[in-house]
Amino acid sequence: MLREILPLFLMPTCVVLALLVVALRTRQRWPIVIALVLLWAASTPVTSNVLMRAVEGWRVRQVTSDAPNADAIVVLSLSIRDVPGKSGAFEVDDFDRFLGGFDLYKAGKAPLLIFPGGWVASRPNLPLMGDVLIARARDFGVPASALSTTGKASNTEQEAEGVAQLLGVGKSPTAPRILLVTSAYHMSRPEMLFRRAGLEVIPFPVDFQTKLGITPRSFIPNGDALKQTDAALHEIYGRMYYWIVGG
């Protein structure tokens, strides 16, 4: 949890607040000017799109039929949340990941569809994401014999370790080959971690966040652009962490 919380202090909103506190304590204007410029840049679509596109690695959506065959399709965990009301339902974000993995399976690209058991430490009452997605895949007509999940995994590194164990890494001279499905901006970090876990990784990015083209509205600040900037920076900080601890 500490690893997830610390980057929040480096996000534009926290930095802007810190600059405003400095301005109040020092009675100087320069922190206010820097805060305003930073806030405008971070919440302007033209800035957030360039930053997100760079984080996505300038990847493009692949044609499902062109993907190579593999031993398994691995769909990284989605965000899950409970919702108000008595329905007891759960809603998920990033559903393009699920659909991307389902399309690959239906195209016959691998005999096994793996959903790691994503778990939110701060919300232990929520079900494992892998169990939720397996139930949804069954609704889509995928047989139980073609579905699998790992144990609890609260981050991408644990997901990679769980999948490696599930596929028996080290038990044969060749590394298991996986088609890795996740959001394009998130792909670089798990691609590195799954390879480090001993798997041959074929990335299949989905859920592209960048809005193509520039219009007059691209220069008008808005909350969606600020949220996209935060997501891109969070991914950058995550990559820096694994580069440092991984050597």
Residues 144 and 48 in one domain: no
Residues 78 and 141 in one domain: yes
Enter the DSSP assignment of 128.
P
Q: What is the pLDDT of residue 2?
A: 58
Distance CA 33, CA 176 (A): 53
Kindly give, in sequence order, each residue whose CB lies less than 8 Å from that of residue 98, ignoring residues fewer than 6 positions away. Answer: 75, 78, 92, 133, 136, 137
In the predicted structure, residue 247 carries a pLDDT above the cut 60:
no
The percent of residues above 90 in pLDDT, for the chain, comes to 69
Residues 133 and 201 in one domain: yes
- For the chain, the residue count is 247
* Arithmetic mean of pLDDT, 131-149: 94
Q: What is the pLDDT of residue 85?
A: 78
Kindly give, in sequence order, each residue whose CB lies less than 8 Å from that of residue 9, ignoring residues fewer than 6 positions away. Answer: none
User: Residue 98: inside a domain, yes or no?
Assistant: yes
Nearest alpha carbon to residue 226 among 53, 63, 87, 44 = 44
- Cβ atoms of 229 and 46 within 8 Å: the answer is no
Q: Biggest alpha carbon distance in the chain? A: 67
Residues 108 and 161 in one domain: yes
Kindly give, in sequence order, each residue whose CB lies less than 8 Å from that of residue 209, ignoring residues fewer than 6 positions away. Answer: 52, 56, 183, 184, 185, 228, 231
Say which range, 58-67, 110-119, 150-159, 202-211, has the weakest mean pLDDT.
150-159
Nearest alpha carbon to residue 175 among 70, 24, 93, 80 = 70
Residues 77 and 127 in one domain: yes
Residues 89 and 194 in one domain: yes
Q: What is the pLDDT of residue 245?
A: 72
User: Residue 212: inside a domain, yes or no?
Assistant: no
User: Residue 135: inside a domain, yes or no?
Assistant: yes
Most confident range (mean pLDDT) of 96-100, 122-126, 151-155, 234-238 is 96-100
Domain that holds residue 157: 64-206
Distance CA 157, CA 137 (A): 24
Distance CA 245, CA 190 (A): 15
Residues 74 and 195 in one domain: yes
25 alpha carbon, distance to own chain's centre: 39
Residues 86 and 172 in one domain: yes
Residues 235 and 141 in one domain: no
206 DSSP β-pair partners: 183
- Cβ atoms of 45 and 213 within 8 Å: the answer is no
Say which range, 141-150, 194-203, 234-243, has the weakest mean pLDDT.
234-243
User: Residue 234: inside a domain, yes or no?
Assistant: yes
Please report, for the domain that includes residue 109, its CATH number.
3.40.50.620
148 DSSP β-pair partners: 114
Residues 145 and 171 in one domain: yes
* Arithmetic mean of pLDDT, 28-53: 95
User: Residue 70: inside a domain, yes or no?
Assistant: yes
- Cβ atoms of 192 and 242 within 8 Å: the answer is yes
Q: What is the pLDDT of residue 3?
A: 63
Distance CA 163, CA 165 (A): 5
Residues 116 and 10 in one domain: no
Residues 127 and 192 in one domain: yes
User: Residue 218: inside a domain, yes or no?
Assistant: no
User: Residue 216: inside a domain, yes or no?
Assistant: no
- State the pTM of this model: 0.87
Most confident range (mean pLDDT) of 147-151, 201-205, 207-211, 237-241 is 201-205
Helix (H, G, I), strand (E, B) or coil at 209: coil
In the predicted structure, residue 86 carries a pLDDT above the cut 80:
no
Number of separate domains in the chain: 2
pLDDT band at 128 (very low <50, low <70, confident <90, very high): confident
Q: What is the pLDDT of residue 4?
A: 67
User: Residue 232: inside a domain, yes or no?
Assistant: yes
- Cβ atoms of 210 and 64 within 8 Å: the answer is no
pLDDT digits (tens, 9 = 90+) for 39-50: 999 999 999 999
Distance CA 172, CA 206 (A): 31
